Structure 1
Amino acid sequence: MEGRTQYEEYPYPVVFLPPYENPPAWIPLQELGFNIRGGKASQLGIFISKVIPDSDAHRAGLQEGDQVLTVNNVDFQDIEHSKAVEILKTAREIYMQVRYFPYNYQRQKERTVH
């Protein structure tokens, strides 16, 4: 068997797969089906700024202008934007408490660039 590779012995075709990579520990917010804006700096809170049609977020009833009050029992009413994003991206499951508050959402849009 000199000169033969070890795979030539198999009766079936050999397929080389790329090395396995673990999936990322986070999911981009777009994959969750919504975007957020705001945070502690604006003093108005975190708001849903976009909901992707036919996403899980859309089916759950989230809408632009919802203020995020809590996520997984973490208070989102006085949280930094970056911390809010980190919590949402790293959570395996998300339990959100929201309220529709278009007045403060409009004020939020006027104050921030997020």
Structure 2
Amino acid sequence: MSGQVANMEKAGFETMDQKIPYDDYQLPVVFLPSYESPPAWIAPQERIHHHDYNNELTQFLPRTIVLKKPPGAQLGFNIRGGKASQLGIFISKVVPDSDAHRAELQEGDQVLSVNEVDFQDIEHSRAVEILKTAREILMRVRFFPYNYQRQKERTVH
């Protein structure tokens, strides 16, 4: 058995008696992090408020925004994109302290629909017309920063 230990030492393996200095390893060495047990099972309805599970993915879920616009008033946000970009309509700017800002509309939100009109495959000019002429706006939006960034790279407006 001592012959095997001697051969292992020559090959660069660690033996029970000694540790091999890091610099003497022959191959690239990868140190793995220590194992962590996964968190205990928690009922789905409790996970949203539990620190082990709350990873903020809820910010990407579709949500409904309601805005009322008096005649002549501004919307409080700008849009970019449309059918030509094949990525949809996105909020490109939200005016601070506007109704849109207070309704938590944000840059990078994709407009899914306005007053039940599908905005996922709509011309930019048609989207602007719908938003400007409506007095009450019921919007479905979702935060989609990845496609918003792609939209910015593809379009100029």
Give TM class, smaller chain.
0.7 to 0.9
Aligned residues: 88
2:128 aligned partner: 85
- Once residues 103 and 117 of structure 2 are traced to their aligned partners in structure 1, the CA distance between those partners, rounded to angstroms, is 20
2:154 aligned partner: 111
1:96 aligned partner: 139
The answer as to whether partners of 1:72 and 1:95 remain within 8 angstroms in 2 is: yes
Secondary structure of the 2:121 match is: coil
Q: CA RMSD in A?
A: 1.4
Secondary structure of the 1:68 match is: strand
The answer as to whether partners of 1:27 and 1:89 remain within 8 angstroms in 2 is: no
Map 1:25-104; keep pairs closer than 5 Å: 27=72, 31-104=74-147
5+ long unaligned stretches in structure 1: 1-24
The structure-2 alpha-carbon separation of the partners of 1:112 and 1:60, relative to structure 1 and needing over 3 Å to count, comes to same
Q: Which runs of 4+ in 1 moved over 4 A?
A: 25-28
Secondary structure of the 1:64 match is: coil
The answer as to whether partners of 1:45 and 1:78 remain within 8 angstroms in 2 is: yes
5+ long unaligned stretches in structure 2: 1-69
Residue identity (%): 85
- Once residues 63 and 92 of structure 1 are traced to their aligned partners in structure 2, the CA distance between those partners, rounded to angstroms, is 21
Deviations 1:37-58 (A, max 9, x none): 0000000000000000000000
Q: Which has the larger radius of gyration?
A: 2
Indicate the structure whose relative CO is greater, using CA pairs within 8 Å and at least 6 residues apart.
1
1:9 aligned partner: none
Secondary structure of the 2:80 match is: strand
The answer as to whether partners of 1:42 and 1:112 remain within 8 angstroms in 2 is: yes
